[in-house]
Chain A
Amino acid sequence: MRGRCPAGQRGVFQATLIAFLTLLHLFAATSARAFSPDAILAAKPPKLLSEFGFFADGAKQVPAEGVIPFHLATPLFSDFAEKYRFVHVPAGQSATYNPDEAFDFPVGAALIKTFAFPADLRAPDKDVRLIETRVLVRQEGGWQAWAYVWNAEQTEAELKIAGAKVDIAVTDRDGAPLSFTYAVPNKNQCKGCHALNGEVAPLGPKARNLNVEHPYASGAENQLAHWTSAGILSGAPAPADVPSVPVWGDAAAPTEARARAWLDTNCAHCHRREGPASNSGLYLTWGESDRVALGVRKRPVAAGRGSGDRAFDIDPGHPDNSILLYRVESTEAGVMMPELGRTQTDPEAVALLRKWIEEMR
């Protein structure tokens, strides 16, 4: 081929190639690198988040083509952090619907979650500082979890296998200054929560917690319907036939449903029969129907000083006699629950759980 190419034509070809490469280089320098399935499947994670190419604009959290934003009806509390969630499923493939568990994602899929703090918690979209982006990638041998910590310039995030500590100073919801040390989890701590039958598993993308509308660029649409029409989810029934949890902060929803939704996302990744806290006998999943397993007049087994001198996980009608509330209120290592992922108390959640236990008979 090369031999038969006329000299003039070759010159044009070369010039075009150089121009193309220059453009590509410019594109890479000004925006993100090209999306890289190789990085998702590589045995060793890339050192830099940009090597995945998940974002067209990382600093602004604008996803690349093929990376879809989503949110959860009731999310996990992580020290008041704002979270931006994204999903990628390889073209031509789809995750399989499951009514109860996280969807079964194909090899090459990725779940991306960025944790960020606005300068003032009352203005969540202003002066936002990106802290870390956690990446769950589905490989041949299962899921891998990695955490990337953003630099001060907000131009790049770097892999931290051993986790990190980041000092946070914000204005809290009451307008008072709030400062604390935020903990980026290490690889084993990721598995401390993301474990199902001992294997790393995604937590958020469950049907019941995705069954809400999301404000897409193209307009608001139910997330499951959107995933289905985008071809990244198969087997989902119509949204009306999919289970759903309420938005836990929605005062119009019944207290019990809100409390159970909150427990489902904040506790049930460990406190379920297949989870890291299976041995406790306390199971807080949305579908749990055994009242004792839910903690009602259940005595603790290994709570230690986490019992707070209270006899039952939940003493109906008596939140201040209930271990569950004591541990959710605490910020002390060895007492607080969850054990990982927070250093602060969520006062609104405490108020909701208090109300739920108070009303319980």
Chain B
Amino acid sequence: MQRLLTLASFALALSASTAIAADIVVEAGEGANERLIEALISAQPGDVVKIGPGMFELTEGLSLDVDDVKVQGAGAGQTVLSFKGQTGAGEGLLVTSDRVVLEDFAVEDTKGDGVKSKGSDQITFRNISVVWTGGPKAENGAYGVYPVSSKNVLIDGVFVSGASDAGIYVGQSEDIIVRNSRAEYNVAGIEIENSKRADVFKNTVTHNTGGILVFDLPNLPVQGGQDVRVFDNDVVENDTPNFAPKGNIVGIVPKGMGVMVMANRNVHVFGNRFDKNGTTHVLIAAYPNEYDDDNYMFVPRGVFVHGNTYGEGGFAPDGEVGKIITDVSGTPVPDIVWDGVTRIPEYFSWVNAEDQIYIDEAEGTTFANLKMISQMLLPWSTSPDTDIAGYKGSLPEPAPVKLPQDSGS
């Protein structure tokens, strides 16, 4: 009987061990690209793919399509995946599975995007960096960290530099946290686009063209971006000339933009520190291009800006947008600017309380409603409304985003 029990427990242990998570270790050196590709393909749910320290010179994009896998480096300063010699694929690493954690490694010089997730549920980007080492250039990839069509997105402690579109870009996704991260020398530091329920906080965005963008764009399968909180961020010295290739919507962002809210709904901007953003600290605007999409709402609705601190700003308005603003507002540009574009029926009648723009800032904060009425930059009033007191009020704040994979901040 004793022997039988031993056998049974041995068999149990054996069957359990086959299900137990394994470490798949990939060290730098000869054939690392192929070994890394193989490790990511052969990983089983629960496994950890551990990438050793050192420089990995990769020519092929990587991809992971297995649920419940962690890809872990030895640290963003230790494990470097360099894609300088990349010849194929649209990104450095593509994740298409659920409950994946990416942490502690660096990705450099991808030809396209840095690290992308498509259609993932519970994807975590933690303590990773994505850098284009040649500095800001139009030839760099578009996005650094790029979750799209994903749910439950956690971006924590990420560093991105040099993206020719957005450093951290979350698109067409739901339930998003971006925190404790740093974005610099990108066209846009952090961008939340066509997404619902996002908390963007405790990040530093500096030396980008624009700091934090909250956009909604037409002709996409997921629209109706809403319920975004941007708070407790340092949005300072965004002063890199726009280097986006033409055609990209971020090409419209002028150098020295702090936070820009475009065509989105229920966006709360509070507790941020703004300083030395040369065009303006906060811009609230309608989508400026012509489009053909009956489902798209091109004006921002329900924006609440409050409790931020404002240093010097608006001293060097840049580009076409900068000119359009200063033609109306003069220089220096006020701390907070709203283009004042509403839909024609609303212009002639009234706007629902939950769709209005509310500002509640410390005394001395400057503001202008440019009153650029019409759908598409048609004639506007030449006398802006600078009476900030007229915009007092508030909106109920969206509940904090909670993610299943996040035990707490």
Binding site for B on A (CB under 8 A): 161-163, 181, 183, 186-189, 191-192, 195, 198, 273, 276, 278-279, 281, 291-293, 297-312, 323, 332-335, 339-340, 343
Would B217 and A301 count as touching, CB distance under 8 A?
yes
- Chain B 241-258, CB-CB to A under 8 Å as 1, else 0, gives 000011111000000000
Q: Tell me whether B68 is interfacial, beta carbon within 8 Å.
A: no
- C-alpha spacing A305/B42, complex, angstroms: 33
Chain A residues whose C-beta falls within 8 Å of the C-beta of B40 in the assembled complex: 188
- Chain B residue contacts of A323, Cβ below 8 A: 247
New A-B pairs, 5, CB < 8 Å, besides A278-B149, A304-B143: A186-B63, A300-B248, A302-B113, A302-B169, A334-B90
Q: Is B151 an interface residue (CB 8 A)?
A: no
B164-182 interface (Cβ within 8 A of A): 164-165, 169, 171-172
Within residues 154 to 211 of chain B, which ones have a CB less than 8 A from any CB in chain A?
164-165, 169, 171-172, 193
Contact bitstring B118-140, A, C-beta under 8 A = 1, else 0: 11000000000000000000111
Q: A267 CB to closest chain B CB, in angstroms?
A: 14
* Cβ–Cβ contact B171 & A304, under 8 A: no
Select A309's contact among B64, B141, B169, B246, beta carbons within 8 Å.
B246
CB distance from A322 to the nearest CB of B (A): 10
Closest chain A CB from B97 CB (angstroms): 9
Contacts of B220 in A (CB 8 A): 279, 281, 301
Q: Are A162 and B292 in contact (CB under 8 A)?
A: no
A161 contact set on B, CB distance < 8 A: 38, 41-42
Mark each residue of chain B from 83 to 96: 1 if its CB lies under 8 Å from any CB of chain A, else 0. 00011111000101
The answer to whether B247 touches A188, judged by C-beta atoms less than 8 angstroms apart, is no
> How far is it, in angstroms, between the C-alpha of A303 and the C-alpha of B142 when the chains are bound?
7
Q: A278-B221, A311-B246, A343-B87 are in contact. Are A334 and B141 (CB under 8 A)?
A: yes
B111 near A333: Cβ-Cβ < 8 Å? yes
Q: Output the least CB separation between A159 and chain B (Å).
A: 12
**CA of A346 to CA of B89, assembled, Å:** 18
Contact B247 A300 (CB under 8 A): yes
Q: Are B140 and A305 in contact (CB under 8 A)?
A: yes
**B360 interface contact, C-beta 8 A:** no
- In the assembly, what is the distance between CA of A293 and CA of B217, in Å? 14
Contacts of A333 in B (CB 8 A): 86-90, 111-112
Q: How many residues of B contact A (CB 8 A)?
A: 52
Kindly list the 9 A-B residue pairs having the minimum CB-CB distance in the complex, ordered from nearest.
A304-B142, A307-B247, A334-B111, A334-B112, A333-B111, A188-B63, A309-B246, A339-B90, A281-B220
Interface residues of B (CB under 8 A from A): 34, 37-38, 40-42, 60, 63-65, 86-90, 94, 96, 110-113, 118-119, 138-143, 146, 148-149, 164-165, 169, 171-172, 193, 217, 219-222, 245-249, 289, 291-293
Using CB atoms, name the residue of chain A closest to B171: A279
Query: Shortest Cβ distance from A187 into chain B, in angstroms?
Result: 5
Q: Which of B60, B139, B140, B221 interacts with A163 by CB under 8 Å?
A: B60
Determine the distance from Cα of A181 to Cα of B59 in the docked complex, in whole angstroms: 12
Q: B40, B110, B221, B291 — which one has the most chain A CB atoms within 10 A of its CB? A: B221
Question: Which A residue sits closest to B289, measured CB to CB?
Answer: A299
A301 pairs with B245, CB closer than 8 A: no
B88→A308 contact, CB < 8 A: no
Q: Which secondary structure dominates where chain A touches chain B?
A: loop
- CB-defined contacts of B249 to chain A, threshold 8 Å: 299, 301
Q: Which of chain A's residues have a CB closer than 8 A to the CB of B221?
A: 273, 278-279, 281
**A79 → chain B closest CB, angstroms:** 12
Closest chain-B Cβ to A60's Cβ sits at a distance in Å of: 31
Contacts of A305 in B (CB 8 A): 138-142, 164, 245
Inter-chain CA distance A193–B54, complex, in Å, is: 32
Please name the residue on chain B nearest to A187 by beta carbon: B41
Contact partner of A301 (CB less than 8 A), chosen from B60, B140, B171, B292, is: B171
B42, A303: Cβ atoms closer than 8 Å: no
CA A333 to CA B112, docked complex, whole Å: 7
Selected contact of A191 from candidates B37, B65, B141, B149, CB within 8 Å: B65
Instruction: List 22 contacting pairs A-B, 8 Å CB cutoff, sorted by A.
Output: A161-B38, A163-B37, A186-B41, A186-B63, A188-B65, A195-B96, A198-B96, A278-B149, A297-B292, A299-B217, A300-B248, A301-B217, A302-B146, A303-B247, A304-B141, A305-B138, A306-B142, A310-B247, A333-B86, A333-B112, A334-B112, A343-B87
Most buried by A among B40, B142, B143, B289: B142
Contacts of A311 in B (CB 8 A): 246-247
Inter-chain contact A307/B248, CB cutoff 8 Å = yes
Q: Are B63 and A281 within 8 A (Cβ)?
A: no
Residues of B within 8 A of A191 (CB): 65, 96
Contacts of B90 in A (CB 8 A): 333-334, 339
How far is B221's CA from A293's CA once the two chains are assembled, in angstroms? 10
* Shortest beta-carbon distance from B89 to chain A in Å: 6
Contact of A292 with B219 in the complex, beta carbons under 8 Å: yes
CB distance from B401 to the nearest CB of A (A): 21
Distance (whole angstroms) from the CB of A284 to the closest CB of chain B = 14
For B292, the chain A residues whose CB sits under 8 A away are 291-292, 297
The residue in chain B whose Cβ has the minimal distance to the Cβ of A333 is B111
User: Within 8 Å CB of A303, what residues of B?
Assistant: 142, 245, 247-248
Residues of A near B165 (CB, < 8 A) are 302, 304
Give the complex CA separation of A163 and B217 in angstroms: 37
Taking the nearest CB of chain A, how far is it from the CB of B82, in angstroms? 14
A354 to chain B, nearest CB (A): 19
Are A186 and B37 in contact, CB atoms less than 8 angstroms apart? yes
In the assembly, what is the distance between CA of A144 and CA of B64, in Å?
16
Give the complex CA separation of A285 and B119 in angstroms: 21
Distance between Cα atoms of A308 and B247 in the complex (Å): 8
Interchain CA distance A186-B38 in the complex, whole Å: 9
Q: How far is the CB of B124 from chain A (nearest CB, A)?
A: 19
Closest to A331 in B: B87
**Contact status B245-A340, CB under 8 Å:** no
